[in-house]
Every structure is written in C-alpha cells, then in structure tokens.
A and B are shown apart, each in its own frame.
Chain A
Amino acid sequence: GAGVSQTPSNKVTEKGKYVELRCDPISGHTALYWYRQSLGQGPEFLIYFQGTGAADDSGLPNDRFFAVRPEGSVSTLKIQRTERGDSAVYLCASSPGRDQRGYGYTFGSGTRLTV
C-alpha cells in the first residue's frame, strides 16, 4: 500500500482480555517495527522484524506480549491478559532494506488501546 496501515484505530477492552493489533506495512518494506507510546512520552521500542523473523524482541515488556509476521508483510501484535498499564498508543513503522543503518521510518497512525 501507499502507507503503513494499522487497524483498529481504537480498541477498548476489559482487564484480562486478549487483543490483537494489526499492521500492514508499505509494500516491499522488509523491516517492520512495533513501538508503544504512553501519554506525554516518546515512542518506546517493542520488536523489530526483518522479513518473517523477529530479529530483535528485546523491547517486549513481558511474556504477555507476542508478535508475528508469518508471510513477511502484515504483522499482528498480540497481548494476553491485558492490564490497565498496557493502555497506550501502539505504533507500527516500516523501512526498506536489510541494512537498516541508513534508513528512516514510515509510521502508521497507530492503535489507541484502552484497558
């Protein structure tokens, strides 16, 4: 697509429920990132995919968070047993190329999660 698409734009859930957030990156972009932004803060890194594999998941806060990208395009961020502290805007970004050093990001509009 022309840009990075995230769905839903807003998600309200109850404590303890399971949620899935979807990201559709720019066509052809091999790198995909998930970030989380709390109110008044800058985005914080969660996970980075290069192709289908999670190249770096060091930012995932705990094992309730998991992300997949099975075909190397669309990615889904999954949160189990949601807690109130998970409330934030979840941002997805994509970037071309395998060597990430020289590239910037293109972000989606984000999913606002309210628990």
Chain B
Amino acid sequence: KQEVTQIPAALSVPEGENLVLNCSFTDSAIYNLQWFRQDPGKGLTSLLLIQSSQREQTSGRLNASLDKSSGRSTLYIAASQPGDSATYLCAVKGTGNQFYFGTGTSLTVIP
C-alpha cells in the first residue's frame, strides 16, 4: 500500500518569506500527484496536478516539483501572504483507483 508522508506537520513563517513543503511516497509507480489546500472546516481546493512524466508545474506564486524515482515532491510558495495560511495536502495516484493522501502541513503566515 502506498504511504504518503508530509514534513513538516506544521510551519509558521513571517509574511513575505519563501517556503517549501515536502511530500514523500513509498511506491514510485504513480500516474500523477496533486497538491491541495484545505481551509479550516472546508473541503479541498486543487492547487496543482503533476503528471508522472512531468518534473514541475507552476501556478502564480506556487511551484510544485516531482522526482518520481526518489518518491518526492515539493511545493514551493513564493512571497508568502497571510491568506496562504491553510493546511496543504499532497495526494498520489498509482495503479489503483484512488488517491493516497498525506496528513498535511499546517501553514501559518504571520503578518
């Protein structure tokens, strides 16, 4: 079974800093990886989807990279803002029908 780990579990940074969230997975036979954002008491908002053949995806201040062979992905957030405060979840899809999720990184950006 695929195991997904996210480090750190929580992160607090001052506004304006660049930061990196990490995701690792145990089975490198994946089709894609998706990063989500979850605000307290809310559902999941998709941020970026990376196919297994891709190395990275960018959207605005967000950049996600994928190193399938080493089982790692990073989400880079540039010039962080208080509105970025949320939990960030990484999810991996392999040969089965489901995404496997990590437990998330809780990000707080301090004004």
Contact = CB atoms under 8 A, between A and B. Distances in A.
B43 A42 contact: no
A105 to B, nearest CB: 7
Interface of B is mostly: strand
A21 interface: no
A59 B91 CA distance: 16
Interface in B24-61: 31-32, 34, 36, 41-46, 49, 51
B23 to A, nearest CB: 11
B98 A59 contact: yes
A101 B31 contact: yes
Contacts of B49: 104
A107 B43 contact: yes
A56 B98 CA distance: 9
Contacts of B103: 40-42
A66 interface: no
B64 to A, nearest CB: 12
Given A40-B103, A42-B4, A104 B98 contact: no
Interface of A is mostly: loop
A93 B38 CA distance: 14
B96 interface: yes
B69 interface: no
Nearest to B42: A109
B46 A104 contact: yes
B15 to A, nearest CB: 26
A107 B96 CA distance: 19
Contact of A107 (B36, B51, B97, B102): B36
